[in-house]
Amino acid sequence: MDPVNLKGFQKIELIVTDSVNTAYSKNGLPMFAGRLRGRLQSIGYALVDAAPQMILEVNVHEFDPGNRALRTLIGFGAGRAVLKYTARFKTPMGKLLAELEGGKAYHGLELVDNPTFKSDEATRMGLIAYSVSQIGEFIEKNGSQE
């Protein structure tokens, strides 16, 4: 898909859907949506519910805290924490402008931002913050992941 000037749109409607439907995802999705709203506003979008120029649909299809004990004791991907999503940028008529598959996984072997000794809440916020940052960078690079 060719890069598109995603920053050229002023009014955006944000739709975040939960395809996981677990207690963890139900508690985490409002935090994800709130941080994403803030990020979108910080890069110049007006968030609207009616008459948008662009619609951002984010479908979270994996969101799991993993198991800190397994990450600590075994590592190598055991007990990994994960947030995976698909973000689709569309016109109000439904034409796909750009798409991003992204997210973050903690497997316990990270040298930086290591979740091994973090609380579950800190791990969740790390997953959310990284994913929101990915979407913001994708927009700033006009739909390019390079």
pTM: predicted TM-score of the whole model, two decimal places:
0.86
- Nearest CA to 28 out of 101, 110, 84 is that of 84
Q: In the prediction, which pLDDT does 69 show?
A: 56
Q: In the prediction, which pLDDT does 72 show?
A: 57
Residue 78 has pLDDT above 60, yes or no: no
Structural element, H or E, at residue 125: helix 120-140
Q: How far is CA 119 from the centre of its chain?
A: 20
Q: Provide the mean pLDDT of the chain.
A: 85
**Could you tell me the domains of the chain?**
6-140 (3.40.50.10610)
Q: How far apart are CA 59 and CA 131, in angstroms?
A: 12
List Cβ neighbours of 31 (8 Å cut-off, separation of 6 or more): 124, 125, 128
What single-letter amino acid sits at 42? S
pLDDT (tens digit per residue) in 14-56: 999 999 999 889 999 999 999 999 999 999 999 999 999 999 9
What's the whole-number mean pLDDT along residues 88-96? 96
Cα–Cα distances in Å, from 94 out to 62, 99, 119, 134?
Answer: 25, 13, 40, 23
Residue 111 has pLDDT above 60, yes or no: no
